[in-house]
Amino acid sequence: MSDKRKILLDIDSMDAYRALFGLNDRNIALIEQECGVTVSLRGNEIFFSGEADDMDIAQAVIEKLVRMIQKGEQVDRSGIRYMIALAREDKLDEADEIMKSVVAITHRGKQIRCKTFGQQQYVKCIKDHDLTFAVGPAGTGKTYLAMALAVVALKNK
């Protein structure tokens, strides 16, 4: 049975709306596709329609994205997919912990952060042990995070 629901958005700028919805509404389309719901915006209210469990996940993800945007954090498609996966496992609160952990800061002042719980565990293992082996598919951040931590260690002598 399909239900309907609405939530009030606490967003005060068009840039925040743009960050939430993405270019050509790609972020919301991704949430609709992954969660199996329909999402629409009227004024400052978001309307959901779909199954109750699916709407719960979509609502939790959108509320988390709004909080991230208000803190000035970037929203990307891989982050949205990861948040949906965390919401399905009822672990969306872990996203805050992951997003807060700064691994290093570049010479230009950009923060290097873990994007997944696995990356966070990897960084913790590197910090806690003298030798760490990591196995995983290409593009998961193994070398990037290890090099960032190596540079931090070098700078800290």
Q: Return d(Cα 15, Cα 104) in angstroms, integer.
A: 27
Q: Return d(Cα 41, Cα 18) in angstroms, integer.
A: 12
Average confidence score pLDDT of the chain: 81
Please give the share of the chain, as a percent, with pLDDT higher than 90.
1
Q: Return d(Cα 43, Cα 93) in angstroms, integer.
A: 28
Closest CA to 17 of 57, 75, 58: 75
Q: Return d(Cα 21, Cα 40) in angstroms, integer.
A: 10
Tokens of 58: 């979509």
Sign for the CA dihedral angle at 143, 145, 149, 152 comes to positive
pLDDT at 2: 61
Q: Which residues contact 105 (CB under 8 A, 6 or more apart)?
A: 111, 112
Amino acid at 36: G
Tokens of 34: 């992954």
Q: Which residues contact 86 (CB under 8 A, 6 or more apart)?
A: 92, 94, 95, 117
pLDDT at 99: 66
pLDDT above 60 for 1: no
Q: Tens digit of pLDDT for each residue in 65-108?
A: 888 888 777 777 877 888 888 888 887 777 766 666 777 887 78
